[in-house]
Amino acid sequence: MTAGVLLVDDQPLQRLGYRMVIDAQPDLEVVGEAGDGAQAVSMTRALRPDVVLMDVRMPVLDGIEATRRIVGSGSASRVLVLTTFDLDEYVYAALRAGASGFLLKDVPPADLLTGVRAVAAGDAMVSPAVTRRLIDAFAAHLPDPDTRRTAADELLHRLTERERDVLMEVARGRSNVEIAQALTVSEATVKSHVGRILAKLDLRDRVQIVVLAYETGIVRRGDGGVP
């Protein structure tokens, strides 16, 4: 099946470049273009794209708030944020708003396509490096350790032992293939566990697993695999 993509950027030439790359793929199709965040929200509602390729800095409504409104509306569309600004506050704000991934605009076309396909499939573009930066940059804003420990215990109590193992691996930024290899199970089994984790914890996607795991202290910097 073809995944529909909505392009959101206030620069027409930037949108043209994305369109040329995406429309050249047999499994992807640009279904619309928006020049600001407000248009993105209304067009997402009307077109129901699988992926919204979202710029951050735009007039009328920025990409972070547009993402928050799209996700908050209950839309099934997933947002992949693209920006020229590799700043922690943008990464964190985008992920907290509900984005399913974060890429820089200067990524090679192949990496852009990989990101779009991953997000369309329900995966997330969150690397261990990003999760490390997030916890470092925002540690001061997290609840006190006792509060986080209580929250972590309450969340983990809802999961089976194997689901806890999978949650830890997802929070470390590992893909389903990597998790399957680490836990010696099939990729299909990992997908099933991830689905149950999302349902039990009332989370939208893998990105929210990462954010929740760090905010509650389930995973901390230095925990196996997160440098």
pLDDT at 10 over 80: yes
Average pLDDT in the chain:
82
The tokens 């990989």 sit on which residue?
A: 114
pLDDT at 227 over 50: no
* Spatial distance between the Cα atoms of 123 and 207, rounded to a whole number of angstroms: 8
Rounded average pLDDT over 211-215:
74
Lowest average pLDDT, out of 98-102, 105-109, 179-183, 221-225, goes to 221-225
* Spatial distance between the Cα atoms of 70 and 39, rounded to a whole number of angstroms: 11
134 close to 99: Cβ distance less than 8 angstroms: no
Q: Considering only CA atoms, which of 66, 50, 51 is closest in space to residue 10?
A: 66
Exposed / middle / buried, residue 77 (Cβ in 10 Å: 0-12, 13-18, 19+): buried
Rounded average pLDDT over 139-149:
51
Rounded average pLDDT over 140-162:
66
pLDDT at 225: 43
- pLDDT tens across 49-97, in order? 999 999 988 989 999 999 999 999 989 999 998 877 655 567 777 777 8
